[in-house]
Structure formats: structure tokens, C-alpha cells
């Protein structure tokens, strides 16, 4: 049947889960409200605090890049609810594979602002302790981390089999690091963007995750852009509908609604831990800033985009909710401003005190043992550099 004969989407448009609207008003949902109800007023205020810290830190890093102190910065403005609320719904021993824009996920996980800086200064590759936080390094090669996460989740299943056979618990990253907070069955969460879903790596990961019933959450932040390519070019259908093709559940949520994101992620993790996973969540959000500090979105983005999307800002929405329900007042928001200021105070001096690596340090890190290809690259690089020397 051609599109003209059937103008409606023949696959149907999935429900978009929303528990709190743009004005901060809540509506109950038969399946998801129970999860959101787990959150106390203190939890919501704490999430707001982390979202505000994410934004302030992001602004500080943008300034540092503009002043020539960072090679690049990747702003997360607008995506704080999707990041902080999903990370909050994970267990301490779930292992997270982030992309490169997921600062809110990291801060929610207890990684400090300073620890996020080295990659962007060029003074190191991984600033935080991956084992302590169960958070892998950022990945700049789009979607590569989706393969890593799927393989890791398949490994968790194999570990469980070994344990069942031998009675020996397998411990490692993502498993048994904090007896107070760990859950019995750790799982994996991988974060990636709408543009990355076009990569073959995502397809391969989803096939393998389904075939091996890997305990993995595919968390897509659909921020509507892959640099300058709008989502409408990336996919004809919501990304969440693709899960059905692999044989697992896909959920579409309002990614700027902390309650919906938290509830959907909690639901998904319960399902994954029960061995019914994997699950795909598409969190529909919006990238309010540029792709990176190297990008000029005025070249491709409609001038009035702010008028459409700024009212959807997740921080504005949560603030409206906290105020209208009497859970927070000016005193709370002043306290948050003071807290975020204090938290990022050390970032500037930390960055300025760290020495960017020389280019050759990166060659040293490519392999654990000497490698001819690296030495050839080194020779090429030195000859190239020598070419700039004045006679």
C-alpha cells in the first residue's frame, strides 16, 4: 500500500509517557505513577540540585573553552532531566556506558566536576575511577559504547552461569562494590543520541542483546539534532518503535519530565533484572545549546527555536512543580545557587593547574606494548612537525 493510499503512519505512533507537563502540573498514569511515587520531595529537590549543578558546571566549562583553556566542550543544556533522572533510577552496581554529553549522569553518580575536565583539557583520558563509580569513560566514536555495553551485559549473564555452576561469585566492575546499595542482579545502561542510532553498531548491538537476552538498557536521548542534521532526516518513526523489530520493548518518554524519565527507567530496570530485557527508552529532549563549542547552530537552526523550546526547559518545569506544590521556595533556590557556585569553585583552578599532554603521549597510550604502526606514526608526526621549522 502506498503512502497516498494510507497517509497515517501504518505502524502507529507510540504513547509518549508524560507525568508532569510543561507547567509543572502532574497527571497520574496507570502504569508509571507508582514508580514516580517512590520519589520523596527531598529526592526531587536533590535531583533539581544536581541538574542545577550540571548546568552551572557546563557554563563554567563553556567559558573556559572560550578563554582557550579547553580544547573543546560539549554542552548538555536542556538535557538535565533525561540524564539525572535516568541515572537516579539505576542501582549503584549497574554499569554505565556514557556517550560524551552525559555530564548530568556522571554528577548524579558522584563523580566530581573536576574529574570530568581532563578529557576536554587534553590532560588525560579518564578523570574518574571507573570501578568506584561503575561508569565507563566517555566515548567519542559514535555508538562504539553501545557494542561495549552489550558485550559487557552478555558477560554478566556468563558470570551468573559460572556462579550457578561453581558457587563462586564473579566480581568485577559493576558487581559487588557497595554492599549497602548493590542489587543482586546488576545490569548495564548505555547512553547514546538520536544520530547515533543510525550507526550499524547500534543495530548489531540490538540483535545480539535480543538473541542473548542481555541485561542492558538502551537509553537514547533524542535531542532532535545530530550536529546540524535534524531528527526528521535521521528517522521516519520514533526511535522507540525500532525496539519491536528486535523483539524487545521500546518506551517513548518526555525526556524533560523528571518523573516520567525516572519512572520509565525504574520500570525498565525491573524488567531487565527479571531476565525480560533488554529495553529501549527514547527520551525526547532538546539540545538548547550548540553541538559543541566548535559549532555555530545559527547556520542551520531556525531563528525562533528558542521560542519553541525554551519553555520546555526541564529546570523551569521542575522549579514550577516544586514551587506550586509548596515543596520549595526562594530560600531553597538561593541555597541551590550557593551550592552550585561552591561546587564549581575549584574547577577553574583545577583546569589551569593541569598540564595538557603532548601529542606523543597519545601514541604511547595506543597499545600496552611497543607496536610498529605506532612507531611509524610517531616518525611521520615528527617529520611533519619538523616541516614547520624555519630554516
Ligand X SMILES: Cc1ncc(C[n+]2csc(CCOP(=O)(O)OP(=O)(O)O)c2C)c(N)n1
Q: Is 194 in the site for ligand X (CB under 6 A)?
A: yes
Kindly tell me the burial class for residue 44, based on how many C-beta atoms sit within 10 Å of its own C-beta (0-12, 13-18, 19 or more). buried
Please work out the total of residues on this chain that contact ligand X, with binding judged by CB under 6 A.
15
State in angstroms the smallest separation of the CB of 105 from Mg ion. Answer: 15
The window from 53-61, 138-146, 344-352, 373-381 that contacts ligand X (CB under 6 A) reads: 138-146
Residue 148 found at the interface with ligand X (CB under 6 A): no
Residue whose C-beta lies closest to ligand X: 193
The option from ligand X, Mg ion, none interacting with 138 (CB < 5 to 8 A, set by class) reads none
Per CB under 6 A, does 196 bind ligand X?
Answer: yes
Rounded to an integer, what distance in angstroms lies between the CA atom of residue 101 and that of residue 191?
9
Q: For every residue of the chain, which 3-state class applies, written as one string?
A: CCCCCCCCCCCCCCCEECCECCCCCECCCCCCHHHHCCCCHHHHHHHHHHHHHHHHHHHHHHHHHHCCCCCCCCCCCCCHHHHHHHHHCCCCCCEEECCCCCHHHHHHCCCCHHHHCHHHHCCCCCCCCHHHHCECCCCCCCCHHHHHHHHHHHHHHHHHHHHHHHCCCCCECCECCCCCCCCCCCCEEEEEECHHHHCHHHHHHHHHHHHCCCCEEEEEEECCEECCEEHHHHCCCCHHHHHHHHCCEEEEEECCCHHHHHHHHHHHHHHHHHHHCCEEEEEECCCCCCCCCCCCHHHCCCCCHHHHHHHHCHHHHHHHHHHHCCCCCHHHHHHHHHHHHHHHHHHHHHHHHCCCCCHHHHHHCCCCCCCHHHHHHHHHHHHHHHCCCCC
* 190 contacts ligand X (rule: CB under 6 A): no
Binding to ligand X, residues 352-391 (CB under 6 A): none
Q: How far is the CB of 218 from ligand X (least distance, A)?
A: 13
319 binds ligand X (CB under 6 A): no
Which positions lie near Mg ion, rule CB under 5 A? 193-195, 223, 225-226
Contact region with ligand X (CB under 6 A), list: 26-34, 218-226, 243-251, 298-306:
218-226
Q: 106 with 127: CB under 8 angstroms?
A: no
Q: Which does 233 bind (CB under 5 to 8 A by kind): Mg ion, ligand X, none?
A: none
Of Mg ion, ligand X, none, which one does residue 148 interact with (CB within 5 to 8 Å by kind)?
none
Nearer to ligand X, 75 or 155 (CB): 75
Q: Which is nearer to ligand X, 187 or 226 (CB)?
A: 226
96 secondary structure, DSSP code: E
- By CB under 6 A, what part of segment 34-63 binds ligand X? none
36 vs 119, which CB is nearer to ligand X? Answer: 119
291 binds, among ligand X, Mg ion, none (CB under 5 to 8 A by kind): ligand X
Q: How far is CA 210 from CA 98, 151, 152, 158, 273, in A?
A: 21, 12, 14, 15, 14
Rule CB under 6 A: say whether 142 interacts with ligand X: yes
Per-residue binding letters, 283-312, with ligand X (x by CB under 6 A)? ----x---x---------------------
Binding characters for ligand X, 220-259, by CB under 6 A (x = yes): ---x-xxx--------------------------------
- Does 101 participate in binding ligand X (rule CB under 6 A)? yes
Smallest gap from Cβ 229 to ligand X, in A, equals 7
Indicate whether 282 belongs to the interface with ligand X (CB under 6 A): no
- Report the residue from 34, 126, 140, 162 that binds ligand X according to the rule CB under 6 A: 140
List binders of ligand X among 335-354 (CB under 6 A). Answer: none
Residues engaged in binding ligand X (CB under 6 A): 101, 140-142, 192-196, 223, 225-227, 287, 291
Amino acid at each position: 500500500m502506498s503512502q497516498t493510499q494510507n497517509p497515517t503512519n501504518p505502524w502507529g505512533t507510540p504513547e509518549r509517557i508524560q507525568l508532569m507537563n510543561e507547567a509543572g502540573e502532574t497527571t497520574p498514569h496507570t502504569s508509571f505513577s507508582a514508580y514516580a511515587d517512590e520519589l520523596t520531595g527531598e529526592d526531587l529537590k536533590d535531583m533539581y540540585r544536581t541538574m542545577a549543578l550540571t548546568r552551572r558546571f557546563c557554563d563554567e566549562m563553556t567559558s573556559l573553552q572560550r578563554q582557550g583553556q579547553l580544547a573543546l566542550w560539549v554542552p548538555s543544556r536542556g538535557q538535565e532531566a533525561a540524564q539525572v533522572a535516568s541515572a537516579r533510577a539505576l542501582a549503584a552496581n549497574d554499569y554505565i556506558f556514557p556517550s560524551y554529553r552525559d555530564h548530568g549522569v556522571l554528577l548524579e553518580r558522584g563523580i566530581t566536576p573536576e574529574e570530568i575536565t581532563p578529557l576536554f583539557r587534553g590532560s588525560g583520558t579518564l578523570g574518574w575511577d571507573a570501578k568506584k563509580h561503575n561508569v565507563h569513560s566517555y566515548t567519542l566514536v559514535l555508538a562504539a559504547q553501545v557494542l561495549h555495553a552489550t558485550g559487557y551485559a552478555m558477560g554478566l549473564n556468563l558470570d551468573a552461569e559460572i556462579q550457578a555452576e561453581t558457587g563462586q561469585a564473579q566480581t568485577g566492575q559493576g558487581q559487588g562494590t557497595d554492599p549497602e546499595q548493590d542489587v543482586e542482579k546488576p545490569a548495564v545502561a548505555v547512553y547514546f543520541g538520536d544520530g547515533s542510532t543510525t550507526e550499524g553498531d547500534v543495530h548489531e548491538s540490538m540483535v545480539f542483546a535480543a538473541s542473548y537476552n542481555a541485561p542492558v538498557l538502551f537509553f537514547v536521548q533524542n535531542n532532535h539534532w545530530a550536529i546540524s542534521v535534524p531528527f526528521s532526516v535521521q528517522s521516519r518513526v520514533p526511535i522507540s518503535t525500532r525496539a519491536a523489530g528486535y523483539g524487545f520493548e521500546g518506551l517513548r518518554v518526555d525526556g524533560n519530565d523528571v518523573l516520567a524519565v525516572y519512572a520509565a527507567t525504574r520500570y525498565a530496570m525491573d524488567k531487565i533484572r527479571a531476565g525480560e530485557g533488554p529495553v529501549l527508552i527514547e527520551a525526547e529532549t532538546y539540545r538548547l545549546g550548540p553541538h559543541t563549542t566548535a559549532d555555530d547552530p545559527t547556520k542551520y537552526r531556525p531563528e525562533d527555536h528558542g521560542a519553541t523550546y525554551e519553555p520546555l526547559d526541564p529546570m523551569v518545569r521542575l522549579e514550577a512543580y516544586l514551587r506550586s506544590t509548596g515543596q520549595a521556595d526562594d530560600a531553597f533556590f538561593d541555597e541551590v545557587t550557593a551550592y552550585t557556585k561552591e561546587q564549581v569553585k575549584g574547577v577553574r583552578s583545577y583546569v589551569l593547574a593541569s598540564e595538557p599532554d603532548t601529542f606523543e603521549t597519545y601514541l604511547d597510550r595506543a597499545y600496552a606494548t611497543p607496536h610498529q604502526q605506532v612507531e611509524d606514526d610517531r616518525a611521520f608526526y615528527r617529520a611533519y612537525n619538523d616541516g614547520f621549522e624555519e630554516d
